[in-house]
Chain A
Amino acid sequence: MLEGITFIIDNLPLLLKGAWVAVQITVLSILLGMVLGIFIAFFRLYGPKPVQKLLKFYEWVLRGLPILVILFLIYFGLPTVGLNIPAFISVILGLGLRSSAYQSQIYRGAILSIGAEQMEAGLSIGLSRIRTLFYIIIPQAVRLSLPGFTNEFTIVLKDSPLAYALGIAELLKQGRNIIVTSFRPFLVYLTCAIIYFLLFHFFYYFFRKITEKFKVPGYLINK
Chain B
Amino acid sequence: MSFFEALVKYAPDLLRGLYLTIELTLISAIVGFVFAVPLVLAVIYGNKFFKNISKAYITVVRGTPLLVQLFFVYYGLPSIGINVTPFTAALIGFLLNSAAYQAEYMKGGFLSITTEQMEAAYSIGMSKWQSIKEIIFPQAFRFSIPALSNEMIYLIKYTSIAYIIQVEELFAQAKYFASDTFYHLEIFLLIGAVYLILVYGVTWSSDWLEEKLKIPGFDVSHLK
Q: Which residues of A contact B188 (CB under 8 A)?
A: 69, 72-73, 76-77
Q: Which residues of A contact B67 (CB under 8 A)?
A: 161-162, 164, 172
Q: Which residues of A contact B161 (CB under 8 A)?
A: 66, 68, 162
C-alpha gap A100/B92 in the complex (Å) = 31
Query: Residue B215 at the A interface, CB < 8 A?
Result: no
Query: Residue A139 at the B interface, CB < 8 A?
Result: no
C-alpha gap A157/B157 in the complex (Å) = 17
C-alpha gap A79/B184 in the complex (Å) = 9
B 2-26 to A, binary, CB cutoff 8 A, 1 in contact else 0 = 0000000000000000000000000
Q: B195–A69 contact, CB under 8 A?
A: yes
Query: Residue A64 at the B interface, CB < 8 A?
Result: yes
Query: Residue B200 at the A interface, CB < 8 A?
Result: yes
Query: Residue A53 at the B interface, CB < 8 A?
Result: no
Query: Residue B80 at the A interface, CB < 8 A?
Result: yes
Q: B158–A66 contact, CB under 8 A?
A: yes
Q: Which residues of B contact A72 (CB under 8 A)?
A: 175, 178, 184, 188
Q: Which of B69-77, B116-124, B132-140 contacts A (4 or more CB under 8 A)?
A: B69-77
Main secondary structure of the interface of B (DSSP, over half): helix
Q: A186–B157 contact, CB under 8 A?
A: no
Query: Residue B131 at the A interface, CB < 8 A?
Result: no
C-alpha gap A168/B47 in the complex (Å) = 45
Closest to A72 in B: B188
Check A185/B75 contact, CB under 8 A, given A69-B192, A164-B67, A196-B65: yes
C-alpha gap A201/B64 in the complex (Å) = 10
Name A172-217 residues within 8 Å CB distance of B.
172, 175-176, 179, 183-186, 189-190, 192-193, 196-197, 200-201
Closest to B175 in A: A72
Q: B68–A66 contact, CB under 8 A?
A: no
* Residue among A64, A157, A196 with the highest chain B CB neighbour number at 10 A: A64
Check A189/B68 contact, CB under 8 A, given A76-B188, A80-B182, A201-B63: yes
Q: How large is the interface on A (under 10, 10 to 19, 20 to 34, 35 or more residues)?
A: 35 or more
Check A69/B66 contact, CB under 8 A, given A76-B178, A77-B184, A80-B185: no
Q: A161–B68 contact, CB under 8 A?
A: yes
Query: Residue B164 at the A interface, CB < 8 A?
Result: yes
Q: Which residues of B contact A51 (CB under 8 A)?
A: none
Name A148-170 residues within 8 Å CB distance of B.
157-162, 164-165
Q: A186–B63 contact, CB under 8 A?
A: no
Closest to B187 in A: A77
Q: Which residues of B contact A64 (CB under 8 A)?
A: 153, 157, 195-196, 199-200
Query: Residue A5 at the B interface, CB < 8 A?
Result: no
C-alpha gap A79/B182 in the complex (Å) = 11
Closest to A171 in B: B68
Name B75-127 residues within 8 Å CB distance of A.
75-76, 78-80
Check A77/B185 contact, CB under 8 A, given A65-B192, A66-B160, A186-B76: yes
Q: A186–B195 contact, CB under 8 A?
A: no
- What are 30 A-B residue pairs whose CB atoms fall within 8 Å in the complex? A64-B196, A66-B157, A66-B192, A66-B195, A67-B157, A68-B171, A69-B192, A72-B188, A73-B192, A76-B185, A77-B188, A80-B183, A80-B184, A81-B185, A158-B65, A161-B67, A172-B67, A172-B68, A172-B71, A184-B79, A185-B71, A185-B75, A186-B72, A186-B75, A186-B79, A186-B80, A189-B71, A190-B72, A192-B71, A200-B64
Other CB < 8 Å A-B pairs besides A67-B157, A185-B75, A201-B63, 11 of them? A68-B161, A69-B171, A72-B188, A172-B67, A172-B71, A176-B71, A185-B76, A185-B78, A186-B80, A189-B72, A190-B72
- Residues in chain A within 8 A of chain B (CB atoms): 60-61, 64-69, 72-73, 76-81, 157-162, 164-165, 172, 175-176, 179, 183-186, 189-190, 192-193, 196-197, 200-201
Closest CB pairs A-B (n = 5): A77-B185, A185-B75, A66-B157, A66-B160, A76-B184
